[in-house]
Structure 1
Amino acid sequence: MKNSSFYNTASALCYIILIGIILSSSPALAKKRLRPQLSERQQNQISGIITDGRAPLPGVTIAIKNQINYVVLSDFDGKYSLLAKANDTLVVSYIGYKTAIIPINYRKNIHIQLQEDITSLQEVRINAGYYSVKEKERTGSIARITSKDIETQPVTNVLATMQGRMAGVDIVQDSGSPGGSFSIKIRGQNSLRADGNQPLYIIDGVPYSSETIGSTATSGTAPTMTSPLNSINPSDVESIEVLKDADATAIYGSRGANGVVLITTKKGKAGVTQFSVNSSSSFGTVTDTPKLMNTQQYLAMRKQAFANDGVTVYPSSAYDINGTWSPNRYTDWQDKLIGGTARIYNLQASVSGGSLRTQYLLSGNYRTETTVFPGDFKYSKGSAHFNMNHMSDDERFKMTFSGNYTSQNNNQPSVDLTPVSRILPPNAPELYDANGNLNWENGTWTNPLAGLESEFESRINDLVANVVLSYRFVPNLEFKSSFGFTDLDNNENRTQPFTMYDPSFGLDSKTSSITTNLTTRSSWIVEPQLNYTAGIGKGHFEVLLGSTLQNQRTERLYQFGSGFASNSLIHDLASATIKNIRLNDATVYKYAALFARLNYNWDTRYMLNLTGRRDGSSRFGPGKQFATFGAVGAAWLFSNEAFLKDSKVLSFGKLRASYGSTGNDQIGDYQFLDTYVSTGNNYQGIVGLQPARLFNPEFGWESNQKFEMALETGFFKDRIFLTTAYYSNRSSNQLVGMPLPGSTGFSTLYGNLDATVQNSGFELTLRTINLTQQLKWSTNFNISLNRNKLLSYPGLESSTYANTYVVGEPTSIMKVYHYTGMNLTTAVYEFEDMNRDGLITSLGDKQTLVNLTPSYFGGLENQLRYKGAQLDFLFQFVKQQAFAPQPGVPGVMQNQPESVNNPNAQQPYTAGKNGNVVTAYFRYATSDGAVEDASYIRLKNISLTYDLPLKFSKGLRCQLYWQGQNLLTFTNYSYGDPEFKMSNNYLPPLKVNAIGVKLSF
């Protein structure tokens, strides 16, 4: 019985389990079973984690299908949470990944793994200025980098982030001093004027003047004045687009002749409030310095020089060799004067978030940087960035506000110690005496640290703000207006206290002086626009109409003061007994324009883009103030043709071309007018005026015609993407200062020169996706070959530029002597007598041409990712030649490169007595003999980032990183850093290492 009862009970349980399995396997019954947990009518909490199979993905957009008003973003751990119904469908999208369509199907927890979509890069919309366009549909030439490229670089100027990363964009750092400037050329030098080649900078839709904001009388260690672009914090930049060809730049008219640089700052995103803190510490040292003679080599050279001059008794002024200075002393002056370590500290913090309708972002940055020079010098910069976007419930009204404020304080020596560090004799005296004071060694030398007593100080406050209001009347008609404002205040000075001179001179504070420069610049701009879009069959067209009204006012006040009761009063100009106003002026620049764009796209195969602009500038005289510019661009997306759509090899193919004209008014204000300046002389209580400039009624626009043709091809689902482009730009009606005879009383007359400059070349960019699995590896390569040529210059032979330019040759050439070798008998350099007149003269024999324009330049970038680690590195390369600077006549009281040392005494040493050797040396410095290969390959940037696996943290992400800049340079150039070329007398770029941590939560 007991066994029978057990058997029946077990059988019953088996039947119950079997019935349960059958019921659970029925989808219909399963739904009924789940209904008590999730409702089809009510909102339910859905959550999960989004990854790419390796790591969580932050910032992924999760929406509900057919509900455009509800969107959430994943946090830094890839987690998301939203309210949805049991039968809703999720739409999950993220740039670079395939969009996932996922039915909820009564689930509460849905973990999602996105698949990378390498072809989606063609769908990214890029900023083209007044409009945006999909990458695959653009007809113009636009280079682009994003915050992912920018954030890996420990730099303070946004121009530094572009070096080596953009085809056709040549950027050179002018100085390694904090706050120093950069030179930029987009597809070569169009204007004969050095200051007429600056591109147009646009920050969040607001034009930002590239004009220098300082004075040569008050500038610091940099060879040029402070870079205006220092006011933009790289950490706040979302993307930088460079517009190059006519199709892309013509809509900016006269302002786009030299290219346009569009800087877009970061914006808030919808989702939970997110905080980010980024802190780093860096140290910087000089890159490459030339090898110089040691004391033994130097003294041997000096002795040989006096012997060559027939001098047996050393003069009393030869302190280095007559026993006044110790012959056993050695100092590496490059190490002593520029061999310090710059300490850099950077702190960035931000908060962002918002709803679908309103998003915000607030960030702040503080950076300090010391120098490699001796002394307590520092550059500090603080900035704040705020952005807010708002959209009405009916999605018709939109508002965007963006504001950037930067405050800079730069205190630097007013002299650069780099030149003196390369010429000081290695046995020169100590810098300080036994009491810790500057050592003047009884007046036998000028202590190099005395120059540090003279300081440069600059305080710059800069505001850039913009508001964009738009209203969509109907789905395809929108009115938009942009209101921009900039305000810059630069107050800088340079002091020259009497303590910078030898005390034996008997000077006191009455000889101390200060030069000050106060520059204020403010501008406003209003740009109303009307956008209309429509589709007709397979065709789609866009129409943009707009206008520009801009006003810029610049005020400058240069003052000089001397004669102070004490050096402690040197910054108080009112305490000076002598005061002079060197310049006090105000200029107003007014600009107005009408512009239009018509874009037609037929079946995403054929695209036509027409742009035009009518410009008016106050920089030209009556009848010359207005000009019209325009361009046409066309593209054929041949990979969308039926015969190629199913190609397994060619995934993308586009042929595009453009032609158009732009202008240039970068000549400064009031250059066409009769102007007068103060004579500075007081006659019977009246200060006189004298004419400074002649009126020129023919003063008009410089014109630039641009042509480009390019082929873009993608292979194997765009894993290999190649772009090749050819361009030819011609700049005519050149705005220059034409020299006048001295009898006129004026040195120049500003006007239009009937000369034409051509820049043509090839650009190639290659992007490859090498690995896509656990280890992801991508490569970007670019190379640019530009050829500059002066096509025509009527009357060049009889002009004052006859020895500067040659028709058919680049505008960057130099006419030099042709070096034929050294006469072993006389130990004198010899040169070819080009005009066969028996004499070597500058006018007749400087006929050999040296081209200093780079033959080509580019960069190779690689990015590797594995789980939580990412490695980025960029090699920059340049093919060029340059002069090796000559420090002085070998044998005089100046150190020389180690290469000048010649044990066989064949080098033409002289202590200055042999005039033939001295003359020949200076000729050699301007001959092709002094030209050498200055090509280089540089590890421009490297970044290693690691995401700590914080498994138990809630929403916290911690990244550790190391970044390097200018770490390695491979070159045959013998005299320091090859990037500087002719500017080797200034501090070279610094080699920077940075370590930091970034917290996000």
Structure 2
Amino acid sequence: MRKLLLGLIAVLLFAGQVLAQKTIRGTVRDDKGNPLPNASVVVRGTSVGATTGTDGSYSLAVPASATALLFSSVGFEPTSVDIGTKTEVNASLRAAATDLENVIVTGYTTTQKKKFSGATVSVTAEDVRKQPFGSFDQALQGKASGVSVVANSGQPGANAVVRVRGNGSISGGNVPLYIMDGIEISAADFASMNQGDFDRIEILKDAVGTAMYGSRGANGVIVITTRRGRAGQLNLNYDMQLGYSQLPDDRLIVMNSAQKIDYELRRGNPYGWSAAEADSLRNVNFNWRDALFQTGVTQQHQLSASGGTANSRFYASLSYLDQEGIVQQTGLKRYTARVNVDNTIKNWRFGVSMQVGYSKIRGTDEATAYIGSPLNAIRWSNPYERAIDPNTGDYQQLGGVGVLTSGQPNAAMELFVNQRQTLQFKGVGSAYLEFHFPFLKGLYARTNWGGDFAQNEGSVYYDRTTYTGAQAAGGNGSLARSANRQFRYTGTTSLNYKQTFGDHEIDGGIFMEAVKTDFRAMGFTGYGLTNGFTNETGITAGNATNGYIPQVSGSGTQNGLQSYFALLNYGFKSKYYLTLVGRRDGSSRLGVDNRFQNFGSVGATWVVSDEGFLENAGKLDDLRLRASYGTTGNYISAAGDYGHLPQFGRISYNGANGWSLTQPGNLNYRWEVNRTINLGVDFAFFKRRLSGTIEAYDRRTNNLYFNQPVSQTTGFATIPGNSGTLSNKGIELSLRGDIIRTADFRWTVEGNITYNRNRVVSVPDDSIINGTTILAVGKPINTFYLVPYAGVNAANGNALYLTQAGTLTQTYSTADLRTFGTSDAPWFGGLSTTVMYKGFDLSAQVNFFLNRDVFNNDMINLANPSYLFDNMSIELLNEWQKPGDVTNIPRPTSAGGNAFQSNTTRFLEDGSFWRLRNVTLGYTVPTNVLTKLKIRSARIFVQGQNWWTKTNFRSFDPESSSPVLVGAQYPALVQTTVGVSLGF
């Protein structure tokens, strides 16, 4: 009887529950009336929800207590619709604001761009995700005005050199601050991070955006927000790319076998070839490029999932990248995982973000003139010598251990027998907690804490059979191991208030932040690897007699930053906005008297287009004027972590170990301070089909980190100090236009161009010469200082130069040195276009760097006539030989005052270039086709990087951040990939 009664109660309860629900149906459309598939429909305050079908319709059983439905979709602004007594609820979603109306994420706050008075650029994360670079920063090139991005190396995983509005320091740091989900991360670790997890990238360029970061914001701030989950059904995505990379065209041509033999014979036959030997060697033409380079294969896979309810959302991903380098034995393998979770419970919001990554980089020596670098061999090795002896099949060693006849190391042995690799484990995690006070609307507290951890292991093995291994102690090879780890935590706690009172808007907060970094490193180099092992087992135990005593090293630093700051945004009548930032930073890197420094900024925005006098302005849709002024700091100096403190190091004297003062301290050591003025104009015409931004800025750095000269009686030539001023002034222009915009066809063109004028205003010692460059007042940093080369005297073949008076001379003199251009391009930018027709899309981006010079040291090593034992540039075939010869190449002999001179403009070349950075052709499969396959979305595409480059610079690649192309260049990859993106 009791079982029957319990069953009856259960039935009644179930019936009551059913009666307490009702079914609501409807359709979700965009603001143009088109149905929106996969839109999320959730009962407000619950986890009850549904997803629209391909026709935008939905059906949802809701509790009788339900009062409203929340509608959302990717790319659209969410909206809420009251239910009331209705059983049919339709919704229309407006496309998310873009261009001049989008939001700005500064890392601390989020605000509408309309209200933001600072200079900032948003980079579309989709553009960054699709490009298969081992370091994501390379994908930023040409995307933002005022931001110079130079891929300094083509080695997979190598990070780019990024500069925001020029170099703001001479001896201090110039790297922008990278913030991911509120946590500072290191730019050198991007090889272990997956850009496929990025949701948006914001670049803050002026003091309004960067002053809130105080001492860390002097070089600009790049804010990365990772992808978060959205309420609705579970969405799975699989993204894949597969392709290959190749060596770019070489513009520095060397001699072939016949040319080199004939040149040697003309120069006196230094090797003493017989006629038969010379004839035989003329036909060899071994291609050292083919021996060292390859077609590298790239594959990339990512599996991600997202979903959740209105109160709990998640995003998770797994990714794998395997990118072979174009140099054999080089490449990058990367594994990453990420989980982001966000929750809302009543007035509480909290969440966590976790990312781990592991990377393995196999590399080779680059950017050096070292004879043992394999990448120099493609220039220097004679074309009549081979990597492999055709008779024995062994590596060719005709001039000794690991070397060819010329004494040049056999590059194949250096590349294939020796080993060089780096392993990294990377972890970035953060958690936030936010509470919205119920007694005052708009008031909330938030705390965000997280850490950035990196552990690196490196190894370099030199085999005793190679040239480099034979140079090691004892001549029997070496093994070097290095290990370091760094952990940095960032904690930010704030009290914020945001509210509107009639015509007045207030949005502000007070913050406290702590940042602490701990770094440790150690390493050793062991010698005498004679038993066949390439690890520690192969090292010969050292003693006082065999010379195999290992070298050891170690270091460690700790530093911290304590900050207090406040932000205030005020708006009046939705037309006038004011931003105030004040920050006080204290750093352990500086002395007690100079440890704390105040920074701040003020900015204003006037929405002119909302004024009554422009109400009938015709085609004008938006016009805003912005102005800002502020200061930021730089606490990264050449003196290391503690320039104010005396530093000691170990010393050995007369067989006894002790301590010695290595760097004197300076208690007056203080912050570098960056002052920035910015003026900006934002505009849009023709229903926003044409929009753009013009910025003008004046950035000045005072108290430059600069080693100051002191009396030699102190035992030191200089001490760490602050002295000098550096200026960057520039203009930036960004334009975007919809040339054609119809229902089926759209053609968009956009571009940006920047002019940055860098000048040294003052330094303690004017005209400081550093090799081929000079640091001089009134000139840009990295200005070249060379003797002008003026050709060849046709009568005697001597090189000609210009004197300071402008007259010709055959005598090279340092008194005739003068300044020339700089390696930092004053003009740079990018142009892109996108054409979309129904499901097809075609996009292309061209980047440019103009008016830059590069000193070609690689060419010097091929044009110096005393290096005739190795291969040489083909231009030496035009050397002067007899009176009357008209040529630009002097005679090879130095007698009669004709010694070869390298520090001349003969080797200063135009490093400007135009590059097709990316081109993509894609097709998105229609929804009605995918429905039958149970697939939510599908896109296939083919893309290429660096397919075309226009330059006059003689090398594989004109792109470099250094003023000098030293040698051993690893050029940018020419890549082609095919990709598929599927959503389930």
What TM bracket, shorter-length normalisation? 0.7 to 0.9
* 1:353 correspondence with 2:301: no
Deviations, residues 481-520 of structure 1 (Å, cap 9, x unaligned): 11111211111021111021399x8999972211221111
Deviations, residues 103-148 of structure 1 (Å, cap 9, x unaligned): 999999999887768x654443221121011122111011111322
Tell me, what secondary structure is at the counterpart of 2:230? coil
Computing the radius of gyration from Cα coordinates, the structure with the larger value is 1
> Which residue number in structure 1 is paired with residue 969 of structure 2?
986
Written as runs of structure 1 = structure 2, the 5 A alignment for 1:419-498 is: 419-441=376-398, 443=400, 444-445=405-406, 446-452=409-415, 453-473=417-437, 474-498=440-464
CA distance in 2, matches of 1:880, 1:799: 22
CA distance in 2, matches of 1:795, 1:915: 38
CA distance in 2, matches of 1:59, 1:150: 25
1:721 CA displacement: 0.5
Q: Is the 8 A contact 2:862 2:873 kept in 1?
A: no
CA distance in 2, matches of 1:266, 1:286: 35
* 1:959 correspondence with 2:939: yes
Q: Is the 8 A contact 1:55 1:867 kept in 2?
A: no
* 1:152 correspondence with 2:124: no
> Which residue number in structure 2 is paired with residue 759 of structure 1?
728
1:59 CA displacement: 5.7
Moved more, 450-459 or 905-914: 905-914
* 1:301 correspondence with 2:299: no
Under a length normalisation based on structure 2, what TM-score does the superposition of the two structures give? 0.87
Q: Is the 8 A contact 1:62 1:92 kept in 2?
A: yes
Tell me, what secondary structure is at the counterpart of 1:919? coil
Report the residue type matching 1:349 in the other structure.
Answer: L
Tell me, what secondary structure is at the counterpart of 2:376? helix
Pick the aligned partner of 1:941 from 918, 921, 931.
918
* 1:273 correspondence with 2:240: no
1:598 CA displacement: 1.1
Distance 1:83 1:650, change over 3 A: farther
1:621 CA displacement: 1.3
Written as runs of structure 1 = structure 2, the 5 A alignment for 1:224-239 is: 227-239=188-200
* 1:902 correspondence with 2:881: no
> Which residue number in structure 2 is paired with residue 163 of structure 1?
141
Distance 1:798 1:455, change over 3 A: closer
Tell me, what secondary structure is at the counterpart of 1:159? helix
Written as runs of structure 1 = structure 2, the 5 A alignment for 1:231-270 is: 231-270=192-231
Q: Is the 8 A contact 1:413 1:456 kept in 2?
A: yes
Written as runs of structure 1 = structure 2, the 5 A alignment for 1:508-587 is: 511-572=476-537, 576-577=541-542, 578-587=548-557
Moved more, 604-613 or 849-858: 849-858
Moved more, 713-722 or 900-909: 900-909
Deviations, residues 750-781 of structure 1 (Å, cap 9, x unaligned): 1112x111000100001112233211222221
Report the residue type matching 1:875 in the other structure.
Answer: V
Report the residue type matching 1:672 in the other structure.
Answer: H
> Which residue number in structure 2 is paired with residue 782 of structure 1?
752
* 1:769 correspondence with 2:738: yes
Deviations, residues 811-850 of structure 1 (Å, cap 9, x unaligned): 1201111122211122122112328998956642212322
Distance 1:255 1:910, change over 3 A: same
Report the residue type matching 1:466 in the other structure.
Answer: S
Tell me, what secondary structure is at the counterpart of 1:804? strand
Under a length normalisation based on structure 1, what TM-score does the superposition of the two structures give? 0.86
Written as runs of structure 1 = structure 2, the 5 A alignment for 1:347-386 is: 347-374=301-328, 376-386=329-339
CA distance in 2, matches of 1:245, 1:320: 70
Written as runs of structure 1 = structure 2, the 5 A alignment for 1:858-897 is: 858-882=829-853, 883-885=855-857, 886=859, 887-889=861-863, 891=865, 892-897=868-873
CA distance in 2, matches of 1:141, 1:72: 41
Deviations, residues 789-818 of structure 1 (Å, cap 9, x unaligned): 111235526999997222111112011111
Deviations, residues 686-730 of structure 1 (Å, cap 9, x unaligned): 632222111111111111100000110111221111110100000
> Which residue number in structure 2 is paired with residue 129 of structure 1?
107
Distance 1:85 1:407, change over 3 A: closer
Q: Is the 8 A contact 2:200 2:224 kept in 1?
A: yes
* 1:333 correspondence with 2:312: no
Q: Is the 8 A contact 2:54 2:931 kept in 1?
A: no
Tell me, what secondary structure is at the counterpart of 1:328? coil
Distance 1:187 1:840, change over 3 A: farther
1:975 CA displacement: 3.0
CA distance in 2, matches of 1:73, 1:830: 79
Q: Is the 8 A contact 2:155 2:331 kept in 1?
A: no
Q: Is the 8 A contact 2:317 2:339 kept in 1?
A: yes
> Which residue number in structure 1 is paired with residue 185 of structure 2?
208
> Which residue number in structure 2 is paired with residue 722 of structure 1?
692
What is the alpha-carbon root mean square deviation over aligned residues?
3.5
Q: Is the 8 A contact 1:497 1:509 kept in 2?
A: no
Distance 1:536 1:929, change over 3 A: same
Deviations, residues 578-631 of structure 1 (Å, cap 9, x unaligned): 344442121101110101011101111000000011000111112011100000
> Which residue number in structure 2 is paired with residue 35 of structure 1?
none
Q: Is the 8 A contact 1:947 1:959 kept in 2?
A: yes
Distance 1:382 1:125, change over 3 A: same
Distance 1:916 1:909, change over 3 A: farther
Q: Is the 8 A contact 1:494 1:516 kept in 2?
A: yes
> Which residue number in structure 2 is paired with residue 29 of structure 1?
none
Report the residue type matching 1:997 in the other structure.
Answer: V
> Which residue number in structure 2 is paired with residue 694 of structure 1?
664
Distance 1:51 1:748, change over 3 A: same
Deviations, residues 831-874 of structure 1 (Å, cap 9, x unaligned): 12328998956642212322222131111122222222222221
Tell me, what secondary structure is at the counterpart of 1:413? coil
Gaps of 5+ in 2: 1-17, 367-372, 543-547
CA distance in 2, matches of 1:910, 1:120: 60
CA distance in 2, matches of 1:618, 1:317: 66
Tell me, what secondary structure is at the counterpart of 2:721? strand
Tell me, what secondary structure is at the counterpart of 1:678? strand
1:748 CA displacement: 3.8
Deviations, residues 437-486 of structure 1 (Å, cap 9, x unaligned): 21113541431112112221111101111111110113221110111112
Q: Is the 8 A contact 1:367 1:381 kept in 2?
A: yes
Report the residue type matching 1:862 in the other structure.
Answer: T
Q: Is the 8 A contact 1:605 1:636 kept in 2?
A: yes
Distance 1:294 1:780, change over 3 A: same
* 1:995 correspondence with 2:973: no
Deviations, residues 958-979 of structure 1 (Å, cap 9, x unaligned): 2212121111112233333221
Distance 1:875 1:426, change over 3 A: same
CA distance in 1, matches of 2:768, 2:696: 35
CA distance in 2, matches of 1:360, 1:454: 46
Q: Is the 8 A contact 1:890 1:909 kept in 2?
A: no
Tell me, what secondary structure is at the counterpart of 2:706? strand
Report the residue type matching 1:772 in the other structure.
Answer: R
* 1:411 correspondence with 2:362: yes
1:179 CA displacement: 2.0
Deviations, residues 865-917 of structure 1 (Å, cap 9, x unaligned): 22222222211112133234423335423434444443885457789653568
Distance 1:528 1:807, change over 3 A: same
Gaps of 5+ in 1: 1-38, 211-226
Tell me, what secondary structure is at the counterpart of 1:296? helix
Give aligned-pair identity as a percent: 26
Tell me, what secondary structure is at the counterpart of 1:875? strand
CA distance in 1, matches of 2:498, 2:91: 36
1:523 CA displacement: 1.7
Moved more, 560-569 or 380-389: 560-569
Q: Is the 8 A contact 2:684 2:690 kept in 1?
A: yes
Q: Is the 8 A contact 2:473 2:527 kept in 1?
A: no
> Which residue number in structure 2 is paired with residue 388 of structure 1?
341
Distance 1:440 1:278, change over 3 A: same
Q: Is the 8 A contact 1:513 1:570 kept in 2?
A: no
Written as runs of structure 1 = structure 2, the 5 A alignment for 1:681-830 is: 683=655, 687-738=657-708, 744-746=714-716, 748-753=718-723, 755-773=724-742, 774-796=744-766, 804-830=774-800
